[in-house]
Amino acid sequence: MAFWFCIGVALLLSLWSRAETAGIPDGVLRMECHDRYFMIAVDLSFTGDEPHFEAVDETGAYAITQQYAAQCGYSINVHPLPGHVELRASYFSCQTQNKDDEMFTFNFNLNVTQEGKEVTYPLQDKTCSPSVPWSPREVTCETNYMEVSVRSEVTCPSGTKKDDWNSLKPAHRSTTSDWQVMFQTDDEQLPPINISDARKQGYAFLLTEGRLVFRAPYGQPESFSTEVNGVPVEAVHATIFSRQSWVVLMVDLVAACSMDEGLYHESGYMLWETPEMLYPNLDGQQINVGLQGELVAQPVAEERGYIVGKQNNTIQICIPENAEGRYRKSAVEDDLYEFYVYHLYLEQILVDEDRVETRIRSLRTLATPLLPSPIFAENQTVLEENMFTVYLGDVPEDVQLAAVHLNGQEFTVPLSVSSFIITKVVHPNNTHGYKLKVPFEDPVVLQQFSKTDALHYILNINYTLTVLPEKDLYYHMESVVALVTDVSPPQFDAVCTESGISFKLDHRPFDYLWEITIDSDLLTSELADQHGYTMSNDSNSLLLEVPLFSHGYEYKNVSLKGFFGTFEIIMRDRETSEVQGSTIKTCPFSPTELIMCSTDGRMTVVADLALAIPNGGNAARTNLRDKYCGPKETDGSRALFSFSLNSCGATVKLNSENVTYENEIFYSKKFPRPSQVVSDNAKERVTMQCTYPLSGLHRLFSVHRFESDAVGIGSLLHTTHPAADLQSPTIQPTSALTTTLATTTLAATRRATGSYKPALHPPSRYVKVTRFRYPTNTRFRYPANASYRYIWPTLNKGVRQSLQTKLNAAHI
């Protein structure tokens, strides 16, 4: 703005002294002066969950509510991780006593509820002075408001622009000499209003000894939000003016703040961005950055691991995960996780074409998503010591061991009198561990004789850990076995591969004493061929390649990010068939697509819908034939569905040998977002099928319960169809190609007639089954929850009558 005015006003300030702070225990209250604000931090252990502050001046005490804080220059934030509530007060906050813009005195009360009563604690007065001189223009982007202050004596700019004269017209037409304010949004200039009316709308205007201050809460009607280089920005543009005869005095006040919430990068950095050109800038800018109100120069920050850069006219601040001043917290969500919180403080110093300096300060709270925080257990047992030594490591600092279960017996920590010990081991990286020592002869240890002179000591450990201060529980299980003789069951070496798990066993002379089984089936070349394993066996070693999704796998934590597959090889006593040992390997897998058909009648599907939804579409808007059956999880163009076979509008195909359940994924175009553009160029339809042999469903016809002897064979078909067909649930699906249980790759066949996944075998679970009857044709497709009558013409009369009676009482 080309019009500035010269103002000199003296404010009469009075100092109001107070008694020393009393009643607050030592160590729970902290008060600090920073370069442009005053900070109070009080421990939540003293204040409780709902503390309140009052700002005090010579006129009285004023409760700092959410609205009052944003208008008057206060920011109150509760920080559970460090465990305190923090109040920040601008040097130009409403009740601050200002002496010549050089000394600022703050008075506050703290209100807390103790024993059901509200108690007020007057806090000791605190006087602060700026640590650096005031710049001609300063902007503060707080968490709840924007504040801009300008020096009241500024040299007039070098030139005048056309827009400046346009801004002058409303001021020239004004018939009053009272100060007025005129707001300008992104695309229009609003009519002027009185300063007093603007204050009623939540704005603050303050004239000090040498500065003019303007403050606006975020989200005001006169502010506007936009994106600059992809970064969200909120800005407010106010021009205050007064007409004195033929002279117009005007001041342009602009505050623009980056509203970026930060992004965590897997490399271990928290990224925050702000546009470079929010304010006029001639010769680049100086950047100071830090955490917790500390500012250091860019070179110093980079020595501490920060990365300060510029890309596409955007300033990028990368904070290292372990930066000093950050907060870390553990959390339990089925597994153990951690997240980090950063209280960013950024200062930018700019110089415009008139050599006028602008100083922008941004205070932002950034948090990472939940990150895995794995704990490991290491067997450090030395047989010669005749005791188990197990180390539990990488335990975070806010996680403690509460108890251990040893072979089912619970022992709380710290231990009472016992024959074993637990020692805590502290590490410099803010983690710790626990070393457990249990003698072999302790009664809690299991002993198992497998062969002559062969003895196993077995210790199953369940660690109970608690996350502080919430006291959430997390369990970590580990099993260790010690063999004190040379005769022991074979143990395979196992390696995870992209396509499955590879096992290797180096033969020993006495390995013949044990049988190697998969579940209860003896491992032979015939069994390997039957299940699709690749096995080679010679005099030196046995190699077994087990493809993913083949028989014997167990699967856990199925999500769009992947899942864990576990395969177990069991060693049994050759004479008694008792289990003597096993090799269990769990590996992470991340296929693009998969389909699983469980023995208890459940279908789980991860499908790539890139060509099955139109451009601009969202995978979250897909559903099965039943429109109320949506995906459990979506990620870009992929979706995860999990549903019972006889639900969600599934249909059934039945022949003399198999029963096939089928469903289909559709895209819903109803109620798109107003800004979303969705085209009708989807090219695929996605059909999934689970096929079970009738011979394995005998319990269905005897006890009316879906329980298959074997997992089903899954098929996931991607077929090309016109876009209009993709919205109809009555399209007849393309017939699936015959596949074996070892078929695992969907991507290779997804553009052909169909693509397939063999089914997995989770633990069986019963589902309710209702009555049904079948139509009289030999192959049909009807909703799975309908009632039909079906007669197999290929069966003899007696079998048909017997089977018909059972079918009429069951539902597939």
Among the ranges given (55-69, 161-175, 389-403, 707-721), the one the predictor scored with the smallest mean pLDDT: 161-175
Q: Give residue 682's pLDDT.
A: 65
Q: Is a pLDDT exceeding 50 seen at residue 120?
A: yes
* In the block, residue with structure tokens 């948090």: 367
Write the pLDDT tens digit of every residue in 696-719. 887 766 666 788 887 888 888 988
Q: Is a pLDDT exceeding 90 seen at residue 261?
A: yes
Residue type at 658 in one-letter notation? N
Pull the structure tokens for residue 503: 């096992």
Write the pLDDT tens digit of every residue in 294-319. 999 999 999 999 999 998 889 999 99
Q: Give residue 432's pLDDT.
A: 95
Q: Give residue 426's pLDDT.
A: 93
How far is the C-alpha of 343 from the C-alpha of 355, rounded, in Å? Answer: 32
Cα 430 to Cα 268, 329, 469, 775: the distances in Å are: 17, 12, 17, 69
Q: Is a pLDDT exceeding 80 seen at residue 812?
A: no
Q: Is a pLDDT exceeding 70 seen at residue 86?
A: yes
Mean pLDDT of 376-384: 91
Among the ranges given (68-82, 375-389, 439-453, 466-480), the one the predictor scored with the smallest mean pLDDT: 439-453
Residue type at 674 in one-letter notation? P
Q: Give residue 47's pLDDT.
A: 87
Mean pLDDT of 69-98: 92
Q: Is a pLDDT exceeding 80 seen at residue 284?
A: no
Percent of the chain with pLDDT over 90: 50
Q: Is a pLDDT exceeding 50 seen at residue 800?
A: no
How far is the C-alpha of 316 from the C-alpha of 323, rounded, in Å? Answer: 16
Percent helix, percent strand, percent coil in the chain, to nearest 5: 10, 45, 45
Q: What is the DSSP letter of 791?
A: -
Q: Give residue 792's pLDDT.
A: 34
How far is the C-alpha of 74 from the C-alpha of 92, rounded, in Å? Answer: 10
pLDDT-derived band at 454, boundaries 50, 70, 90: low
Q: Give residue 670's pLDDT.
A: 62
Q: Is a pLDDT exceeding 70 seen at residue 349?
A: yes
Higher pLDDT, 25 or 703: 25
How far is the C-alpha of 623 from the C-alpha of 646, rounded, in Å? Answer: 16
Q: Give residue 757's pLDDT.
A: 40
CB 276 within 8 A of CB 314: yes
Q: Give residue 509's pLDDT.
A: 57
Mean pLDDT of 26-43: 92
φ, ψ at 495 (rounded to 5°): -135, 135
Highest mean pLDDT among 443-447, 482-486, 730-734: 443-447
Q: Give residue 748's pLDDT.
A: 32
Q: Is a pLDDT exceeding 50 seen at residue 786?
A: no
Among the ranges given (8-12, 37-41, 97-101, 220-224), the one the predictor scored with the smallest mean pLDDT: 8-12
Among the ranges given (177-186, 195-204, 586-595), the one the predictor scored with the smallest mean pLDDT: 177-186
Write the pLDDT tens digit of every residue in 646-659. 899 999 998 888 99
pLDDT-derived band at 799, boundaries 50, 70, 90: very low
CB 535 within 8 A of CB 549: no
Q: Is a pLDDT exceeding 80 seen at residue 173?
A: no
* Bridge partners, residue 310, by sequence: 315
pLDDT-derived band at 470, boundaries 50, 70, 90: confident
Q: Give residue 1's pLDDT.
A: 36
The maximal CA–CA distance of the chain, rounded, in angstroms, is 114
Mean pLDDT of 139-143: 95
Q: Give residue 694's pLDDT.
A: 87
How far is the C-alpha of 726 from the C-alpha of 730, rounded, in Å? Answer: 10
Q: Is a pLDDT exceeding 60 seen at residue 260?
A: yes
Higher pLDDT, 812 or 322: 322
Mean pLDDT of 368-387: 91
Helices first, then strands: H and E counts in the chain: 8, 59
How far is the C-alpha of 85 from the C-alpha of 48, rounded, in Å? Answer: 10
Q: Is a pLDDT exceeding 70 seen at residue 267?
A: yes
Nearest to 686 by CA among 607, 744, 628: 607
- How far out from the chain centre does Cα 111 lie? 35
Strand locations in 184-261 (E): 193-194, 204-207, 211-217, 224-228, 231-244, 247-258
Pull the structure tokens for residue 101: 């813009």
Radius of gyration of the chain (CA): 36
pLDDT-derived band at 773, boundaries 50, 70, 90: very low
Mean pLDDT of 665-680: 62
How far is the C-alpha of 272 from the C-alpha of 317, rounded, in Å? Answer: 5
Q: Is a pLDDT exceeding 80 seen at residue 595?
A: yes
Q: Is a pLDDT exceeding 60 seen at residue 727?
A: no
Residue 575, judged by CB atoms within 10 A of its CB (0-12, 13-18, 19+), counts as exposed
Mean pLDDT of 429-438: 93
